[in-house]
Amino acid sequence: MAGNSLVLPIVLWGRKAPTHCISAVLLTDDGATIVTGCHDGQICLWDLSVELEINPRALLFGHTASITCLSKACASSDKQYIVSASESGEMCLWDVSDGRCIEFTKLACTHTGIQFYQFSVGNQREGRLLCHGHYPEILVVDSTSLEVLYSLVSKISPDWISSMSIIRSHRTQEDTVVALSVTGILKVWIVTSEISDLQDTEPIFEEESKPIYCQNCQSISFCAFTQRSLLVVCSKYWRVFDAGDYSLLCSGPSENGQTWTGGDFVSADKVIIWTENGQSYIYKLPASCLPASDSFRSDVGKAVENLIPPVQHNLLDRKDKELLICPPVTRFFYGCREYFHKLLIQGDSSGRLNIWNISDTADKQEREEGLAMTTSVSLQEAFDKLNPCPAGIIDQLSVIPNSNEPLKVTASVYIPAHGRLVCGREDGSIVIVPATQTAIVQLLQGEHMLRRGWPPHRTLRGHRNKVTCLLYPHQVSARYDQRYLISGGVDFSVIIWDIFSGEMKHIFCVHGGEITQLLVPPENCSVS
Amino acid sequence: MVTVMAATAAERAVLEEEFRWLLHDEVHAVLKQLQDILKEASLRFTLTGSGTEGPAKQENFILGSCGTDQVKGVLTLQGDALSQADVNLKMPRNNQLLHFAFREDKQWKLQQIQDARNHVSQAIYLLTSRDESYQFKTGAEVLKLMDAVMLQLTRARNRLTTPATLTLPEIAASGLTRMFAPALPSDLLVNVYINLNKLCLTVYQLHALQPNSTKNFRPAGGAVLHSPGAMFEWGSQRLEVSHVHKVECVIPWLNDALVYFTVSLQLCQQLKDKISVFSSYWSYRPF
């Protein structure tokens, strides 16, 4: 960027919200913003009010592949930074308050989980990101520069790590990182929170490697309430372990054959586990799992079948749930400083966020009643609530009698040289409008909108069905005449138009199928 | 006009019937076929899972080139690691025969094989969660599942077909050089990797560049296989590659696995195409 001129791109949305098939969800530490990442690589920021009202605020573009994980990335409470990782190895650091991308890097490997680890150097608070993914170690990345500093490596059967949890010790300076590899081996590393320079380059080897025979582990969480128990959720069962010696305390099966995708501790004696279908269940742990009770560890060594705890609550779904095309993402958030809710947040493939407030579930609530959802909003619902309704580019020209929906635009190309936007529509017509009128339609309302024939436009008719692609060759390569516009459609034909006179110059009908793409060959190829 | 509408209505009914058949029957048949093929592929990797006891079977591979016999190696592959490497080198200058082998109980893990195996396991996991009893409600669901499975299979294949590009200092610093007894002389570098279906062993012979040499020193970048003339700096010395020996051997089960990946990817793509044909019909409008 040269000089002081900063070009800010602005996006004008139409009536339909963009698709947002949620693949990751995060609640910031201050409890005010929900961040969701989607399978197309966009990140959406939603404002969460104290009364748990959700409102989408911004959509962040930058990643080119689906978002695999999100994590907080800043130690101080005045800045809200988050880090996002995608399938192609990209990592971005974002400022949540204004949606700026602060740092970007691309690694060769995909991360499937990132956790923020805070420690102090002197009286400075610094942050590191502990990442695991499709590689056999845990990478420790600097949270401001996104550089890989060192890694936690394992000597005994090293393999990909499927989930990881950081256990902070309040007594000593040494914190523990507990991780489960894809082959079901539990690995433990000791990380000190006081870091000297020497340690920043050498790999750290594990303290302990213990097979606990947990296949397909989905998540591992440490109980912040008891500081003693570890919850491991696998796809067909979940288990609670004593974090002191990793012995099994209790085990729960799958409910109705559903697959578990994660879980967390809600309180010292309750866990919440969620499934692939979006259902969640709260279980009450028996006394043998609670360090505070007299019968703690009394069940250690017993057979797994005798240790099954009962379901206490069943979280209810929406009545008119949309059809989902992939499993929803669920996560539990518990604030201890800024907000005191215990929230279960779920994002699904229809761009919808569901929140259950499970802060005050009383013990005496019947099991059959179930816990109702507190709020639920989808991106399309938020768009529909807007007044005035956002207008599409050429909505006034696309009115179909007896229909609420305007004629759909199926292909478009922008010609900056003439300041024109060319839109191909689903009935085969092509509309050419001056590009500035799109901004006018969104930002200004006035009498000009009621005039017949506004905006000034030209319609080209020739295709018999949906227009699938448009190409202005002169834009791609100057060797082509600037008069010509090429369009392809579902009717197997390619038409050349003269953009100034609006005439159809030629129609090629020899194709054997729908036209899917129009391309300009590179400079020195001659096409005979 | 009415007859045209009636004809299109009948056509539409047939199309819907066909789509229902596709979602309920054909998709499950294809998924079952995919599962079978991928389970065969994962068996090929014959690694000890956390459940089965006992070491994976050992396979010896004799690596040699048909031209010269300057380098000959016998590598023992156990699962995803090399448990033994017996390398014989005939030095061109003095015809001296050098012999190196891995130190006792040392193993060199081939990360490419472990990554490929894990990607296949992920693909199988995605498919087993959608078995016969699962009802697909929309075509988009099937497309999403196929995309996810294809991503894992493409990654698995890429791990085998694209070995890591390493710079010469990285090869010198890798733990492989320290695995041998007797210790490798300082003018030899060794690298082992998987390329497609072959296990490759490369030996680089180096000579030191004199400080007052007139040659223009340009450190070589990363490559899978470096050529003679590549230069690099290691410690306090500047070194140049004088000879490169590469020997390889086809691993039969890797070959099978790659074939299975290709077939599975084709099956996935065909199913996606079949579903996509219907997606264009839903926005069909009589004109």
Listed range (A4-13, A42-51, A465-474) with the worst mean pLDDT:
A4-13
DSSP symbols for A135-191: EEEEEEEETTT--EEEEEE-SSS---EEEEEEE--SSSSEEEEEEEETTSEEEEEEE
Domains and CATH numbers, chain A: 409-509 (2.120.10.30)
pLDDT at A14: 77
pLDDT at A198: 45
Instruction: Answer whether residue A205 shows pLDDT above 50.
Output: yes
Instruction: Answer whether residue B139 shows pLDDT above 90.
Output: no
In this complex, do A185 and B50 lie within 8 Å of one another by their Cβ atoms? yes
Residue B122 Cα to chain centre, angstroms: 15
pLDDT at A247: 86
Listed range (A227-231, A382-386, A401-405, B98-102) with the worst mean pLDDT:
A401-405
The overall average pLDDT reported for chain A is 83
pLDDT at B21: 86
Phi and psi of B267, rounded to 5°? -60, -45
The span from the CA of A428 to the CA of A322, in Å, is: 31
Give chain B positions within 8 Å (CB) of A66.
none
Instruction: Answer whether residue B49 shows pLDDT above 70.
Output: no
Average of per-residue pLDDT across A475-480: 82
Average of per-residue pLDDT across A29-50: 92
Residue A13 Cα to chain centre, angstroms: 20
pTM for this prediction: 0.86
pLDDT at B44: 82
Give chain B positions within 8 Å (CB) of A216.
125
For residue B124, what is the enclosing H or E element? Answer: helix B111-128
Instruction: Answer whether residue B176 shows pLDDT above 80.
Output: yes
A380's CB contacts (< 8 A; 6+ apart) are A16, A17, A350, A351
Evaluate the CA torsion angle A56, A62, A67, A69 in order and state its sign.
negative
In this complex, do B118 and A160 lie within 8 Å of one another by their Cβ atoms? yes
Of A134, A349, A426, the CB nearest to B115: A134
A256's CB contacts (< 8 A; 6+ apart) are none
Of A136, A183, A215, the CB nearest to B111: A136
What residue in A sits closest to B277 (Cα-Cα)? A514
Query: Is residue B144 within 8 angstroms of chain A, CB to CB?
Result: yes
Query: What digits encode the pLDDT tens for the residues A292-313?
Result: 777 777 766 665 555 667 777 7
pLDDT: which is higher, B151 or A462: B151
pLDDT at A304: 58
Give chain A positions within 8 Å (CB) of B155.
134
Instruction: Answer whether residue A508 shows pLDDT above 90.
Output: no
CA-to-CA dists, residue A453 to A32, A448, A449, angstroms: 46, 10, 9
Listed range (A454-458, A464-468, B184-188, B246-250) with the worst mean pLDDT:
A454-458
The overall average pLDDT reported for chain B is 83
Query: Is residue B125 within 8 angstroms of chain A, CB to CB?
Result: yes
Task: Residue A132: name the closest of A159, A168, A95, A103 by CA.
Answer: A159
In this complex, do A216 and B125 lie within 8 Å of one another by their Cβ atoms? yes
Instruction: Answer whether residue B47 shows pLDDT above 70.
Output: no
- Most confident among A164-173, A500-509, B118-127 (mean pLDDT): B118-127
Instruction: Answer whether residue A163 shows pLDDT above 80.
Output: yes
In this complex, do A428 and B287 lie within 8 Å of one another by their Cβ atoms? yes
pLDDT at A302: 64
Give the pair of three-digit tokens for residue B44.
């090929």
- Nearest-CA distance A324 → chain B (Å): 7
Q: Please give the share of chain A, as a percent, with pLDDT higher than 70.
A: 88
In this complex, do B144 and A326 lie within 8 Å of one another by their Cβ atoms? yes
Instruction: Answer whether residue B121 shows pLDDT above 70.
Output: yes
